[in-house]
Structure 1
Amino acid sequence: MDKFDVEDLLALIRNYNPRTDEALIRRAFDYGQRMHAGQTRHSGEPYFTHPVAVAAILTEMRLDDATLVTALLHDTIEDTRSTWGDVADKFGRDIAELVDGVTKLTNLQLSGSHSKQAENFRKLFMAMTRDLRVILVKLADRLHNMRTIRAMRPEKQVKKARETMDIYAPLAGRMGMQWMREELEDLAFKVINPEARNSIIRRFLTLQKESGDVIAKITADIRAELDREGIEANVYGRAKRPFSVWRKMQEKQLTFSRLSDIYGFRVIVGTESEAYRALGLIHRRWRAVPGRFKDYISQPKANGYRSIHTTVTGRDGKRVEVQIRTRQMHEVAEAGVAAHWAYRDGVRSTNPFAVDPAEWIAQLNERLGGEDHDEFLEHVKLEMYSDQVFIFTPKGDVIQLPKGATPIDFAYAIHTRIGNSTVGAKVDGIRVPLWTRLKNGQLVEIITAAGQRPQAAWLEIVQTGRAKAAIRRSLREEDRARLIRLGAELVRISFEHHGRRVTDKALRTAASKLALPDADELLARIGCAEMSAQEVLQTLYPELGTRKETVDPARPVAGLEADQTLGRAECCQPLPGERIVGITYRGRGVIIHSIDCPSLAELDSEEDLKRWVDLQWRDGTHPPAYPVTLSVTIRHDAGVLGRICTLIGSQGANISNLVFADRKPDFYRLEVEVDLHGVDQLHALLTALEAESDVAQLARLLRPELAP
């Protein structure tokens, strides 16, 4: 809403709530307008146009007066002389609490450092547990800011767009407001990658010229089939948003011309039985695509979403997605969890499919049980980005899991004890590997054995936060003795480098100074890389702890047996300072991989896990003897290559090889091999290159095809 006119806003509210408290809305409007008087937005418009636009967005979800007043006042406490007490005196304590909640969310830095982001994510979810309407106002606030983002500075646009793509868009989707998620994603995509978005739009226009208005033709075909059977329905069709198309192209590694189901259609009927009749008609008229049918009516999503999804091969062989639902289901599909507060004709809607927000949040918090902020952040992101699958137990119970979940996730969803003792699984009666991705409607039976314990490789397999937390907890308990031994070796090596001897008394003293309960806890933390042996040395001998000895490049890691030979994986090129693991190869000894090397995903069988060796880089200064390959795209212009090479040299890195991987009229893509002494030098080099205006793209090159 660009005009800030109270009558326009009231007209929108009366459309669904003729009993609205007009006096309250007018008072809030006048108060907000006075408080923001003289303030302007980046575009030069009066600032109060923004709160009014946020309120207008919330009227699309038919929300209550308290939420709309909160939208009108959501920036007053933060940006004007108004206080919490002022708002409470004029509009009541409940509205003041809502406004204060939105203010606190606005001040959360959700895109900062990982640890701060993790802590603030937990605060965001705490705000949700108090009153979900705070999040609804914040999402509408972000949507309007994204619609008007072009008035911001370019660097601010990119920061806001990435935060929107990473946090607010998936949060809207998780709450059931898919229309808002799609619009937020597309607005962010327009900022982050405008060339890709424009390319997709051009392809759509070309496709429309070549084949005419496909949407109108298919809509008419569906409507004709329904009319013939006497089913009264509304049929809508649209091309999918550019970001949705782009994401599918990236996930499936397809060009636009090979992409299917870029059109979506929605059929809104009166009753549930008509929805299934409509499905039968569509499947009889067009060929259904196997594996692309989902029945969210019989198995609703946690946020109340109900609909039938099917993909069919339609006119001219084009694949199209069709969603079929009733009008009440459609209201919840549009508003998501917000449907709980929706009004119709002046009274709260009694939509039987609307989810109680308190129950929804309780379920969400139960699945997001993390032991610290970092685990909570990981679990939240998994939950927000995941679609759902519904799996049956042998007793016929239904377990809801995120898309991509495995039998191990299923086992932990039933009980932690079952998950910990899992040794195998049957899906629909057939024995399958534990890394199998489960599909909707499958029946899963878990095979357990006494004495079985979770394996570290499971962390790379499972999808749910509950499973990850339980596996980590078990591994910590089981690995404590092994970590203590590894920590003791690292401390011994570090002390010997400085001519000191490790004693029990020295370890007890260091543990006490570091506020740890005992020496075993100290050694265990060193063994799992939460603390370094250098810190212990510096705690006991400050004059020695800051000196770093040069590490022998022939034995750069701790954790090897005396007779084991060592090599470095070409696929991931691990560097000192990175988390690593060793894999034994017959005839080649132990090869170091970085812990996130893609090739490790293939080494998760019980036999392969016996080849894993816990390793750590030794403390000290490593020589620049570790080549790493960078992919660098630079502008094709005189002197650019020379400047890039000089810049690399200024960071103390030696170029050992350089290959022109791709030549274009405007750009060159280089593969540059540089010799480095550790990950800190790599980060400094990448930062320097990214700041160079002639560098268009930059990435560390991984080569899975070179895996041993």
Structure 2
Amino acid sequence: MASSGDVVVEPGAVSVDPAARAADLCTLLESYLSPAQVHRVYEAYCFGAEAHEGQRRLSGEAYITHPLAVAKVLAEMRLDTDSIIAAILHDVIEDTPTAKAELAERFGEDVATLVDGVSKLTQIDFKSKAEAQAENFRKMVLAMSQDIRVILIKLADRLHNMRTIWVMPPHKRWRIARETLEIYAPIAQRLGINTLRVELDDLGFAALYPMRYRVLKEKVRRQRGNRREIISKVRHTLEERLAEAGIEAHVVGREKHLWSIYQKMRSKHASFQDVFDVHGIRVIVDQVDTCYRVLGVLHQLYKPLPGRIKDYIAIPKANGYQSLHTTLLGPRRIRIEVQIRTSEMDKVAEAGIAAHWLYKEAEQATNVAQARAREWVRGLLEMQRNAGNSLEFIENVKIDLLPDEIYVFTPSGEIMELPRGATVVDFAYAVHSDIGDACIAAMVDHRLTPLRTPLETGQTVEVITAPVARPNPAWLDFVVTAKARTAIRHSLKRLRGAEAVSLGRRLVEQALQAFELTLEELPQERVDEALVSLGSESLDAVFEGVGLGERMPWLVAQRLSGMGGEQGEAVTDRAAGPLTVRGTEGAVVTFARCCRPIPGDPIVGFASAGRGVVIHHRDCHNIRDYRNHPEKWLDVQWDEAVAGEFPVTLAVDVVNKRGVLAGVAATVSELDSNIEAVDQEEKEGMIATIRVTLAVRDRVHLARIMRRLRRLNAVLRIVRRKG
């Protein structure tokens, strides 16, 4: 994140005396603050000017001009006194010897907390610039959760930095502009502060892609001249028709901002001529029911385009935005987008959560926006708690800030907002993390639906859960929400850790039998010595390493027994007996896909670093690669009470005629099995080979299925694939 001191003024800018800027700020503040409050702000200016004495921006201006400009942005939003003071002092902790305690004593605890919230972590050495940016963003989110004004100060700070970015070195300009477009402008949009968002977008666009910005700006200017007459005609016609209907309304023209046009062109692979909503109309009325009356008048006047009518009044956006949208086919078949909203909705649409301070009469509407903002911040906090590190967290935040959304319903009728492309799993985690962890299927519009199914606006979704269910790593391939992604990773890490500890304990206990010892019999002194020699802090950490295949159980047993043995030393008697496989060990015991062993098969285990124990069939061709690594072999056997179903692959030669696959499927179903995958391997004249993957309980179950399949007239031969 750019330091304010790195930012310079635009070429040709006239240097203004800081005292004059402070006077202008106080004049602006006098329009809504009391004299005593304005005096406090002036005291803060004097304090900040003294603290920054001798510091200069790259432009040569006194450093205090930047905090004053940030304060002015907030004053134009009519923020409270503490926010203005914090804006003036927002760099004193970071860039001067001033301590937080001194600010608290001089200006109050609230001001000190706000300033500390926007200050960067300058005392910590980070491995990379990206890590520093991510960790500072994490710190700011934590401060936001305490006081939402922190992000308003940060957005104003970033806005002035972007206004004064132009003579910076290109590599810095591009980095700051990209960060603005990817994080800060979307945050402004998420909080509903449209005025800030539009300026941040266009300034970032101009800095990151200056040539594209100039070309697009010129195209919009030319089109504005060509369409001005048509838009003006539509506006006047609409005003007359609304007056005839007895509707009082304020009708204005609006123009899509450049970054939004560019994004639409890029996402739809369209030319500028194919973007139809560059210019549009906004209708502002007094109350909600009038909005729908205006919509009726519009659709009588011009034909609406099917599928382009959106009701954000009934279903507001996540940032509290409310409006009716419709696209009309106007004169000369030009498409015109019209937005219809009340004056309160318009204020919230432009100022978002800042409307609470800017428009006192819009307080009720902004309470909704602020409640949604607080809910979003709570979601960020949950994400940062579950994220592995700050870099993962900031990437998840970027995903979360994607603007396109869909609206689906819970069975009770509650509306849930999700990004476009969200699946059933995303919905489940949006309801609650526990629901997501335990989901196994869903009913979408009363039809059973797979978990990876993308949802569409208007659908009703009911999640089906099971107490023993847990997240599947494959879900990470299709979920789109940051909350689902972080929750799945967090749950998998937690489950995997617990499973690894349990398996590792069993392996070490089994290995200790060779020394005629048990864990309970080991004296604490010997355990402590073994932990030192193994370089670990606890037995659970050792067990986890064993369970994940990162440590060999017999070597750990040697250290615990006190019998010696170096890391690479051969062990003649590893254990008294084989490890029993129950089928319920979770992610730390996996079954090789090449040979697909099932209960009853002779099996062998291999310790694989990071994966735990991988079980192969003894006849699997791939185990030849492990002949040269006997230290990784594990003696394993099936537990008598092995549980679950296991996939097995059959190659079935059949007479290639109609209905043969249906007969195979029906037979498998009759014998209480399920086909997980099927495809045709090859076809030679009248003979075809079908590869079928079934779920079976054990070899006995498989044998019954194979015997029954051989009775089918169309089946010629069945072979089980083992690698």
TM interval, short-chain normalised: 0.5 to 0.7
Report what 2:511 is aligned to: none
Q: CA deviation at 1:194?
A: 1.6
Q: Partner of 1:396: helix, strand, or coil?
A: coil
Report what 2:215 is aligned to: 199
Aligned match for 1:521, one of 544, 558, 564: 544
Question: 1:162-561 to 2 correspondence within 5 Å?
Answer: 162-208=178-224, 210-212=226-228, 215-342=231-358, 344=360, 350-355=363-368, 357=370, 360-362=373-375, 364-366=377-379, 368-369=381-382, 370-374=385-389, 376-416=393-433, 418-448=435-465, 453-473=470-490, 475-476=492-493, 512-515=534-537, 517-518=539-540, 519-525=542-548
Work out the percentage of aligned pairs sharing the same amino acid. Answer: 40
Q: Partner of 1:5: helix, strand, or coil?
A: helix
More off after superposition, 335-344 vs 136-145: 335-344
Matches of 2:118 and 2:365 in 1, distance apart? Answer: 29
- 1:147-201: CA deviation from partner (whole Å, max 9, x where unpaired): 1101322222122112212221222122221332232122112122222222322
Larger radius of gyration: 2
1:52 maps to 2:68: yes
Matches of 1:449 and 1:88 in 2, distance apart? Answer: 52
Q: CA deviation at 1:606?
A: 6.1
Matches of 1:107 and 1:260 in 2, distance apart? Answer: 51
Q: Partner of 2:166: helix, strand, or coil?
A: helix
1:289–1:313 CA contact under 8 A, matched in 2: yes
CA shift in 2, pair 1:205/1:353, >3 Å? closer
Q: CA deviation at 1:462?
A: 1.9
Matches of 2:34 and 2:291 in 1, distance apart? Answer: 32
Instruction: Give the AA of the match of 2:386.
Output: E
Q: CA deviation at 1:31?
A: 3.6
Q: CA deviation at 1:541?
A: 11
CA shift in 2, pair 1:89/1:513, >3 Å? closer
Aligned match for 1:24, one of 25, 40, 43: 40
CA shift in 2, pair 1:367/1:79, >3 Å? closer
Question: 1:106-117 to 2 correspondence within 5 Å?
Answer: 112=128, 116-117=132-133
Matches of 2:250 and 2:66 in 1, distance apart? Answer: 34
Report what 1:139 is aligned to: 155
- 1:645-671: CA deviation from partner (whole Å, max 9, x where unpaired): xxxxxxxxxxxxxxxxxxxxxxxxxxx
Unaligned runs of 5+ in 2: 1-12, 506-518, 520-525, 570-607, 624-647, 652-674, 680-691, 694-723
CA shift in 2, pair 1:350/1:470, >3 Å? closer
Q: Partner of 2:189: helix, strand, or coil?
A: helix
Unaligned runs of 5+ in 1: 489-503, 546-556, 567-583, 588-604, 612-708
Instruction: Give the AA of the match of 2:436.
Output: G
TM-score normalized by the length of structure 2: 0.64
Q: CA deviation at 1:409?
A: 1.9
More off after superposition, 10-19 vs 238-247: 10-19
1:306–1:329 CA contact under 8 A, matched in 2: yes
CA shift in 2, pair 1:91/1:402, >3 Å? same
Matches of 1:221 and 1:532 in 2, distance apart? Answer: 82
- 1:599-621: CA deviation from partner (whole Å, max 9, x where unpaired): xxxxxx9649999xxxxxxxxxx
Instruction: Give the AA of the match of 2:366.
Output: F
Matches of 2:149 and 2:402 in 1, distance apart? Answer: 21
Matches of 2:61 and 2:217 in 1, distance apart? Answer: 30
CA shift in 2, pair 1:317/1:363, >3 Å? same
More off after superposition, 442-451 vs 389-398: 442-451
How many residue pairs get matched? 547
2:279–2:337 CA contact under 8 A, matched in 1: yes
1:219–1:237 CA contact under 8 A, matched in 2: yes
Q: CA deviation at 1:38?
A: 4.4
Instruction: Give the AA of the match of 1:243.
Output: W
Matches of 2:195 and 2:76 in 1, distance apart? Answer: 11
Matches of 1:269 and 1:334 in 2, distance apart? Answer: 16
2:500–2:545 CA contact under 8 A, matched in 1: no
Matches of 1:192 and 1:151 in 2, distance apart? Answer: 13
Q: Partner of 1:43: helix, strand, or coil?
A: coil
TM-score normalized by the length of structure 1: 0.65
- 1:378-432: CA deviation from partner (whole Å, max 9, x where unpaired): 4433333344433212222333333432222223333455434544434334554
CA shift in 2, pair 1:15/1:220, >3 Å? farther
Q: CA deviation at 1:144?
A: 0.7
- 1:486-518: CA deviation from partner (whole Å, max 9, x where unpaired): 999xxxxxxxxxxxxxxx999x86994144634
Q: CA deviation at 1:58?
A: 1.1
Q: Partner of 2:88: helix, strand, or coil?
A: helix
Q: CA deviation at 1:522?
A: 0.8
Instruction: Give the AA of the match of 1:160.
Output: I
Q: Partner of 2:422: helix, strand, or coil?
A: coil
Matches of 1:33 and 1:532 in 2, distance apart? Answer: 64
Q: Partner of 2:457: helix, strand, or coil?
A: coil
Instruction: Give the AA of the match of 2:539.
Output: P
Aligned match for 2:84, one of 68, 71, 76: 68
What is the RMSD computed on CA atoms of the aligned residues?
Answer: 4.7
CA shift in 2, pair 1:31/1:469, >3 Å? closer
1:110–1:121 CA contact under 8 A, matched in 2: no
- 1:561-605: CA deviation from partner (whole Å, max 9, x where unpaired): 685689xxxxxxxxxxxxxxxxx9999xxxxxxxxxxxxxxxxx9
CA shift in 2, pair 1:606/1:332, >3 Å? farther
- 1:31-60: CA deviation from partner (whole Å, max 9, x where unpaired): 434444444322233333322221221123
2:347–2:362 CA contact under 8 A, matched in 1: no
CA shift in 2, pair 1:243/1:608, >3 Å? farther
CA shift in 2, pair 1:470/1:328, >3 Å? same
CA shift in 2, pair 1:79/1:247, >3 Å? same
Q: Partner of 1:167: helix, strand, or coil?
A: helix
Matches of 1:153 and 1:359 in 2, distance apart? Answer: 39
